[in-house]
Structures are given as structure tokens and as C-alpha cells.
Structure 1
Amino acid sequence: MTEQLTEQPAEEVTASPEAPAPAAPGRARRVLWAVARWTAAVVVCGGVGAGTAMGITALDRSDVPGLATESDGRWEYPPLRLPALPEGRPRPFTDDNDAEIHYADVRQLLLPAPAGATADPKMNGGFVSTDAYLSLYGKEFRAELKQALADSALRHIAARGWTTPDGTRTSIHLLRFGSVAYAQRFEDENLRGGYSTDGLRTMPDGVALLHMDTFTEDIEVPNTRAFAFREQKPYGSEQVRWAYVQAGDTLALITQTRKGEALDVPFRQTVTLQAQLLG
């Protein structure tokens, strides 16, 4: 059977309502101008925000109001420079300087005082006597140390001292010997040789108990070795901290004394910088 296609009856088409008249040209321009202004405002605000964020990111923390970093206690030292050598003389740790001698003036190897410090007129960066150096140790050690220095080819002792506004008194003594062998032997046999839980072979004047610090293990200055100590409680109204830095023919003694407690940060800083000058 053949399927017959039937034609659907045509739907009645009614007239559509009249379309709205187009907006007047003036009103259209006003709408477009308002949209453009809002778009520009959003872009500008976004740009200002991004620019501010980038500006703050680029600043150091101490430059941003309210975000300044407090001082960690370090002193402000002047820039350090190695002194010039006499013509034709090598640096202490070169292949042609077996005795590891510092040919530069030992006085120029002393660490300078930090900003704001008051210089000690008795230790102004010049040479001092053996007795002045020995006065740092207990009276019971001085005679033996004096003889050991006489036997150790000691050449010079240079010293510098200062007091900072917080009351910390610092002294640095540089002992220059005839060679690295003399410097090492004097330190090993007369200063640190006898270290135990309650003392060294020789102790600073007035110190009865000590504690050995370990921060010197982190001082990565080639050709130097450093050992540091602090007075252990109970002690009097002041605490003493001291360190030895041996570099070639020169031995440094750094001491700091302060009422109440000798602070850790400036002591470590001072020892490290003096080691850098000698190394």
C-alpha cells in the first residue's frame, strides 16, 4: 500500500505586533559613554593595585612603614680592608711563605672600633707591653706566661680597646711570633692545654668557671682556628667572654665584658671579623 502524503493544513498567520522604534542616537551615545567610564575605572583601579603591590615587593622590608626590621644586635663596623704589604713580601698563606708570617704591620690588622664606641686611650691601636697583656690573666698565671712568651720568639703585641653605649668593654690583643710554629705552641701549651670541664690552663682575671662556646665551628675563614669561652654562673656583677684566633704567626685574644651579661651577637661578630682580617 502506498503511503500518501497529506498536506498539513496551513496555519493561520496573524499579524505580529509592531516592533519597537530604535533608540534615539543621543541616548545610545550616553549609555556607551557610561559603560566606557566604568570600564576605564576598573582598569585604572586594577592597575593602581598591581603597581602598589609591585612597589612594596621591590622595597626592602626596612623601607616599608610599619614593617621595619629591628636590629639583631650587631654593631656597625667600618668597611674592612687588608693593609698593603711591603714590596716583594708575600701574603701569609702562600706557597712561598712556609712560616706563615704576616708581613703587614700587625697594628693594621687590628679590628677597628664600631660606630658610636669610645676608644680606650691605653689601647689605641699601638703596641703594648707584655705586662699589659698579662694583666688580663689571673695573677697566679702571669709569671709562667711571661716566661713562656720570652721563650716563644714573641715580636710584638698590638692592642685596641673600646666601650660601646650599652657598657660593653672590648679589647683585642694581637701577638705576633717569629713563625706559625711558635704561635701554635704558645697557645696549645700555655693557654688551652689543660682544658677541662671547670677551666683552662690559664684563666682571665677573676674568672672561676667557664663554658666553651661552639659558634667558632661556623667561622669559615681559611687558615684560621678559633676557640671561644664565656664565664659561667655564678659570677659577679659582670660577665666575661673571650676567644683566641690563631692565624699563621699571629695569635689574637678578644675579650668582652659587660655588666649583667656579655651579649652573644656582638661577641660573635667581633670574633668573626677579626678572624677575617687575620686570614
Structure 2
Amino acid sequence: MLRWTVAVLVFAAAGTGTAYGIVSQERTDVPGLSTLGDGRWDYPKLTKPTLPPGAPLPFVQENPGEVHYADLEQLLLPAPAGAEADPTLRGERGRVPVERYLKEYAQDGREDLREHLTEGGLRHIAARGWSMPDGTSVRIFLLRFHTSALAGNYFRAQLGGAPDTMVRLVDVEEMSSYDQGYGNDAKVASTERYVYDEATPRGPVQVRHADMTAGDIVALVAVSRKGTAPVVPFHQTVILQNQLLG
């Protein structure tokens, strides 16, 4: 049975002092979190992906390569209630070309990423995106590599994990720094993640993003909005996507 572990995490909503927790639990299905007035989004109930007959889970003894055998689209977090789908991320089975993924990054950093992906064992990319009624935009990309070692190499060589990342996303004015509001308890076994907030001074659009790796998959979660990008649903989205990969 697939065991989904939801780490305990408490968020303080920016400027409100409101907090919410995700209680540790193990179950076959992961419930979406209902909207309780603190800014979180109403996600649908999440269920474990379907595996091919006889295929093992990614992080068990029978799968030393830590390969995700589920279809990549099934590992993408579904959009919450009230979302409008991003028409640029509607490829067949959720697949998108490398160039669409690279458009999430500033122009001056794309060539290094493109070269690594071309030579570094990338298999394919699946993506999903949406916008919310308040203007918040969300884009999630899952990059599947031929091996977990190749995925880890791209994650560490290109995306880093330093307190300040110079790999700028589009609309980031200078750089992004560790998101100090993301709790250390929000961990999913066998995965690694770095969560960032755009450092000040910012431009007209604030960008928050997270990089994560799990076996043969590297993920990008990007959230942006004119003015201020909401922190609570960003953290919620990162945690739920991380759970689907863990």
C-alpha cells in the first residue's frame, strides 16, 4: 500500500498572523485541503497514481533506481477550485517541449539549462498551469530523466540549493533567496526541495518558486502575481506537489 506522509507544518499568513497546520497521517488517499479563510486553495482529493501491473513504487527496496513508473501527467498536482487553465500548458498527456519550460527562466540563463537538458539525459517534461481569480499564476513542470542520478545532477548543478539562487525566473528583478517562512518540518521522505522567495527590491510582479527532486524527476513550482504573490497557497501547493512525488 502506498503510504503518503503529510509533514506537520504551520504557516503564518503574511500580515495577518493567521496559522494553519497539516497534521501527520498515513493513508492511501491524500485529501485536498479545504479553504478555511486563511488564503489556502480548495484542491480536489488527491489519489495515488496508477502503476503498470507489477511495477514497484519509486522508493522501495525492489526499485533501487528510484524510478517513477506512473504516467508523468498523473504526478502533476491538479488545479484547485476556481482555477482557469493555462492554455500554453495543454499538450497531449500534459507534455510540453523544453523551450516552454525554459521560458520560465530569464533569457540570460536559458542556454546553460538548455545545454544540460540536451546532453544530460532528459526524457520528457509534463506541465500544468492555471490562474486564480485574484490574478495569481501557477506553473508546475515535472522533468523526467533516464536515471535518478541524472536527475540529481541537473538539480544540483543547475538549480543549486544555495541560500541565494542566481538562476532567475522570468519577472525576478535580481535574485531569489530561501523562503524563511517555509518550515523545516515540511519534508517528504526520499525527496529534496528548496523553496525561494524573490528578494527585494522587486519589480511589479512578485515571484515565488520551489525546486524539488524525487528519484528520476525534477520539479519546478512557480507562483507569481502583480503586487504580492500569496504565501499560504504557494506553500500549500509546494507541499501537495512534493507529496505526489514522494
Normalized against structure 2, the TM-score is what?
0.81
CA contact (8 A) 1:183 1:246 kept: yes
Give, in whole Å, the separation in 1 of the partners of 2:60 and 2:54.
13
For 1:247, give the aligned amino acid.
A
Give, in whole Å, the separation in 1 of the partners of 2:156 and 2:36.
41
Alignment equivalent of 1:234, drawn from 193, 201, 205? 201
SS of the equivalent of 2:109 reads helix
What is the match of residue 113 of structure 2? Answer: 145
CA contact (8 A) 1:169 1:258 kept: yes
Q: How many angstroms does 1:216 deviate by?
A: 5.2
CA contact (8 A) 1:120 1:162 kept: yes
1:256 aligns with 2:223: yes
What is the match of residue 64 of structure 2? Answer: 98
What is the match of residue 134 of structure 1? Answer: 102
Give, in whole Å, the separation in 2 of the partners of 1:217 and 1:156.
31
For 2:160, give the aligned amino acid.
R
Give, in whole Å, the separation in 2 of the partners of 1:131 and 1:272.
26
SS of the equivalent of 1:181 reads helix
Residues 120 and 75 (structure 1), Cα distance of their counterparts in 2 relative to 1, 3 Å cut: same
Sequence identity percentage: 47
Q: 1:228-247: CA deviations, max 9, x gaps?
A: 11112221211000001211
Give, in whole Å, the separation in 2 of the partners of 1:77 and 1:138.
30
Alignment equivalent of 2:233, drawn from 247, 266, 271? 266
Q: How many angstroms does 1:202 deviate by?
A: 1.7
SS of the equivalent of 1:89 reads coil
SS of the equivalent of 2:65 reads coil
Matches within 5 A, 1:173-252: 173-192=141-160, 195=162, 199-207=164-172, 208-214=174-180, 215=182, 217-252=184-219
SS of the equivalent of 1:239 reads strand
Residues 70 and 155 (structure 1), Cα distance of their counterparts in 2 relative to 1, 3 Å cut: closer
Give, in whole Å, the separation in 2 of the partners of 1:202 and 1:233.
16
Q: 1:156-185: CA deviations, max 9, x gaps?
A: 100000001111000000001112111111
Give, in whole Å, the separation in 1 of the partners of 2:219 and 2:155.
10
CA contact (8 A) 1:192 1:201 kept: no
Residues 70 and 143 (structure 1), Cα distance of their counterparts in 2 relative to 1, 3 Å cut: closer
Q: Which of the pair has the greater relative contact order for Cα pairs under 8 Å at 6+ separation?
A: 2
For 1:265, give the aligned amino acid.
V
Structure 1 or 2: larger strand share? 2
CA contact (8 A) 2:139 2:221 kept: yes
- What stretches of structure 1 of length at least 5 have no aligned partner? 1-68
Structure 1 or 2: larger helix share? 1
Q: 1:213-264: CA deviations, max 9, x gaps?
A: 1415221311111101111222121100000121111111000001111111
SS of the equivalent of 2:87 reads strand
* RMSD of Structure 2 on Structure 1 (CA): 1.6
Aligned pair count? 208
- Higher Cα Rg: structure 1 or 2? 1
Q: 1:184-228: CA deviations, max 9, x gaps?
A: 1101011116x36xx424211232132211415221311111101
Q: How many angstroms does 1:70 deviate by?
A: 5.9
Residues 94 and 233 (structure 1), Cα distance of their counterparts in 2 relative to 1, 3 Å cut: same
Normalized against structure 1, the TM-score is what?
0.71
